[in-house]
Structures are given as structure tokens and as C-alpha cells.
Structure 1
């Protein structure tokens, strides 16, 4: 299976990317092909809302979404990875997802698998609610099959992440995929 991991953290060595790294290790050990796309450091323009794409492409903008789209459409699974800064996914990941507009139909027809990996320093009971609901809406709208959510509560720093159970949970999620 080909898995495309969409990282949305501007901090290359941050907690959410650490979860992605552990997930990728498990997925590779299970025999999967893994491609990591660092959305936070790609050149991706926001969607203009012009709908020239007709929701199934091509997009009028010519940026890194051209090659990212090819990777996504050749995948069997998408993994959304984000730090939780302000009760939702990072702006960097959201810009990429907004550009799905130009190929929604193609994604929907693929019936891909998906997962969400997120990390935040806050450990209360509601911090991840909005992010998890947004992810579930994407799953429903894009006809994705949810394989799991790892909400790294209390993992807002690399040290906290290393001392928690969440990296192992991310590894195990990747490892169980065939």
C-alpha cells in the first residue's frame, strides 16, 4: 500500500512530526511505501475559490500542488499530521487541504484510507474536539476510511512527546497497516 503523509508543522523537529516519523517507521516495517510531504515548507498558494477547476481540475494555480496532487492520487492512504496550536489543524496543512477543491472528485472515487496524528501541549478533555470533528467531516466528504486518530494530549514539546505513550501508539497504527 502507498501511504502519503501530509505534515503540517512549521517545526520540522516538532512533536507532530515525531508522531509522523514513528507512524512511518511502523508502516514501512509492515511493507508499505511511505511518502512524506512537508506541507509547511512547500510552496502552496491558498485556494482562490474561483472554481475554474470545476471541482475536478485542473487548478489554475501552478505551484507545488501540481506534484502533491499526483502523489495523493497515486496513494492508497492519506495521513494528516498537525500540531494543534489553536483548536484546529495548522494553517499550513489547511491550505493544502483547501486545494483539494480542484480534485475532490478524484479523491472521492479512490476510497482511500486515512488517519489523523496530532500533538498539543494541552491535556484537557476538549482541546482536540474541533480538530477531530473537522477530520471526521473530511473522512465523510472525501469517502475516506478512517483507520485511526492519535491525539497526542500533553505532547506540545519534543520532551513531553518522548515521555508519552503517543509515539508508540503512532508506530503501532502504522505497523498494523497492510
Structure 2
């Protein structure tokens, strides 16, 4: 299976980066091909809603890293979103990438699986509700199948998440993809 992991943290060694690392390790151990797109470290400009893509065969007017990743994401069987929680939603860095799907919605929609992993400082049982609803709406719109969610609440630092069960759960998600 071809998997694209899109991360949204501006911290290379942050809590969500650890989950991405462990998921990728598990997926590769299971024999899957994994590509990682670290959105915070790529040049990704926001969608202008200019509709240039609608009149130019899905070509985006923006000239940035997304242009080199569209074909890779289209060819993927699964897309995994990994983000820290920012005000009960995904980070701007990953949301910008998702907004840019617009140019290729027709090519990206359908026949894909998706997962979401998120980390948060807060530990309330409702902490991830808004993010989860947003993720489910994206999947519904794209006609993608949810293959799993991992919400690591109460993980404000790398040290805390390293001593939790969440990294091993992320590894198992990767290892057990079907």
C-alpha cells in the first residue's frame, strides 16, 4: 500500500512528530511504501479560491511544494493526517495543505483510506470533538474511508508522550494496516 503521511507541526521533535515517526516505522515494518510531507517545513501557500484550477485541468495557480506532491497523494491508497491540536482544530500548516486539495478534488476523491493522529495539552474528554468532526467532514466530502483515529490527549511535552501508550499505539496502527 502507498501511504502519504502529512504532518502539521512546526516542531520537528514535538509530540505529534513522535506519533508520525512511530506510525511510519510500523507501516514500513509491515512492508508499506510511506511518503512523508512535513507541511510546516515546506513552501505551501494558501488556496486563493480563484478557480484557476477549474479552467486549467486541475493545475493550481500557486507555484510551491504542493505542485510536486499532488501526483504522489493521488497515487496514494491512504492519507494520514498528523497534527497538534490548535484551538480545538488542526494546525494551520496542515489545514493549508488540505485546503489546497481543492485543485485536485476530482482526482483525490474516492477509493482512499485515511487516518488522523493528534496530540493535545488538554486532557478533557471533549478535547478532540471539534477536530474529529472536522476530520469526519473532510472524509465525507472526499469519499474516503476512515481507517483509524488516535487522539493523544494530556500530552503537553515530548517527555510525557514518550512515557505514554500513544507511541506504541501509533506503531500498531502502522503495523496493522490492511
Is the aligned partner of 1:59 residue 2:60?
yes
Is the aligned partner of 1:71 residue 2:77?
no
| Aligned-partner SS, 2:54 | coil
Is the aligned partner of 1:134 residue 2:134?
yes
Hey, what's the Cα distance between the residues in 2 that align with 1:11 and 1:117? 15
| Aligned-partner SS, 2:137 | helix
Hey, what's the Cα distance between the residues in 2 that align with 1:57 and 1:116? 26
Using the TM superposition, give the Cα deviation of residue 143 of structure 1 relative to its aligned residue in structure 2, in angstroms: 1.1
Hey, what's the Cα distance between the residues in 2 that align with 1:140 and 1:159? 35
Q: Matches of residues 1-178 of structure 1 in structure 2 within 5 Å?
A: 1-54=1-54, 57-109=58-110, 111-178=111-178
| Aligned-partner SS, 1:54 | helix
Task: Give me the TM-score of the superposition, normalised by structure 2.
Answer: 0.96
Unaligned runs of 5+ in 1: none
Hey, what's the Cα distance between the residues in 1 that align with 2:169 and 2:103? 33
The count of aligned residue pairs is 177
Hey, what's the Cα distance between the residues in 2 that align with 1:21 and 1:41? 16
Using the TM superposition, give the Cα deviation of residue 51 of structure 1 relative to its aligned residue in structure 2, in angstroms: 1.2
Hey, what's the Cα distance between the residues in 1 that align with 2:38 and 2:101? 16
Using the TM superposition, give the Cα deviation of residue 73 of structure 1 relative to its aligned residue in structure 2, in angstroms: 1.0
Using the TM superposition, give the Cα deviation of residue 85 of structure 1 relative to its aligned residue in structure 2, in angstroms: 2.2
Hey, what's the Cα distance between the residues in 1 that align with 2:12 and 2:87? 19
| Aligned-partner SS, 2:109 | helix
| Aligned-partner SS, 1:53 | helix
| Aligned-partner SS, 1:5 | strand
Using the TM superposition, give the Cα deviation of residue 9 of structure 1 relative to its aligned residue in structure 2, in angstroms: 0.2
Hey, what's the Cα distance between the residues in 2 that align with 1:31 and 1:156? 32
Unaligned runs of 5+ in 2: none
| Aligned-partner SS, 1:45 | coil
Using the TM superposition, give the Cα deviation of residue 62 of structure 1 relative to its aligned residue in structure 2, in angstroms: 1.0
Task: Give me the TM-score of the superposition, normalised by structure 1.
Answer: 0.96
